Amino acid sequence: MHQQEKNIKGFNLLELLVVLSIVGIISAVAYPNFSSWYKERQVRQAAEKVKALMKNIVIQTERGTFGYVQVLFDNDEDDGLTISSKGMTMQTLATKINDGSNIWNTDATGVSRCNTDRTDYWDTDLDSTSDKVKSAVYSITLEDVTTNFAGIGAVCFSRNGKFYEASDQLAEALSVPYEFFFICRKTSIQVRCPILFEGADIVDDGDGAITPVEIDGPETPSEEEEIVELPLPSSEIKFLRAVRWGRFGNFSISKFNNSYSIVADEKEWAGGTWYN
């Protein structure tokens, strides 16, 4: 007896081509939406991580672990954006305050308080500090996002808002802090967010870098102002966030939405609006 042949079915060439065509069409339609969603997610998550780090270190002042803390931002084109924290114990802070000759009391500007240069200034930098205290600080490195400046900037907080200073790129005037930090996607062309703090203008170097040029800006906002107006980007930008804070913490995140106008039947970028 002959064994009955099995009825084996499969795709013929035409059916395979039809399936591949359908998959290609679906991918072409879905990919832009997925790509946009992924890029937006990168920036949103980075902003949430920065906010969480800042909030956590300030909480340590309310718990009494530290009397004075610093959040340090270091934006390096090669190594990425690193945000870390440092702390000064209540005992160290009390010693400085009680010493009338200490620069802590003689520096009326407060510039020396939020120090980023010395390695023996913060207790968390010292080998003699306990592991318990050192474990109360945080550090994250974000490789896929950037901010609007290169180099370092720092902002410092204390319990009940008594001391509140900034240094380097985050100091608006002497030690007066800027109260926001920008986060956008980092690409080969966009190495920094095209937005500068108040009191600065923008020069395009032609290589994707943005050079600040200082100009006369608005007066420093008073302490009574709860919300400082955010500066707008100099050009169209997608996926931009700002982490915001104040003397007493009050951390929040704002999102930038672009707006457009129709000029000569063409769509043109017309700035945008910040939303909390």
> In sequence order, which residues have a C-beta less than 8 Å from that of residue 89 and are 6 or more positions away?
65, 66, 67, 123, 129, 133
Please give the residue that has the higher pLDDT: either 255 or 7.
255
pTM for this entry:
0.79
For residues 69 and 128, give the distance between their C-alpha atoms in angstroms, rounded to a whole number: 18
CA distances from 193 to 25, 94, 108, 160 (A): 34, 40, 34, 33
- What pLDDT sits at residue 21? 74
Instruction: Quick: pLDDT tens for 179-235.
Output: 999 999 999 899 999 997 754 433 334 444 434 333 333 334 344 334 568 999 999
Domain residues of the chain, as ranges?
42-219
pLDDT of residue 198: 58
pLDDT in tens, 122-166: 999 999 999 999 999 999 999 999 999 999 999 999 998 999 999
Return the pLDDT at 28: 65
Amino acid present at 192: R
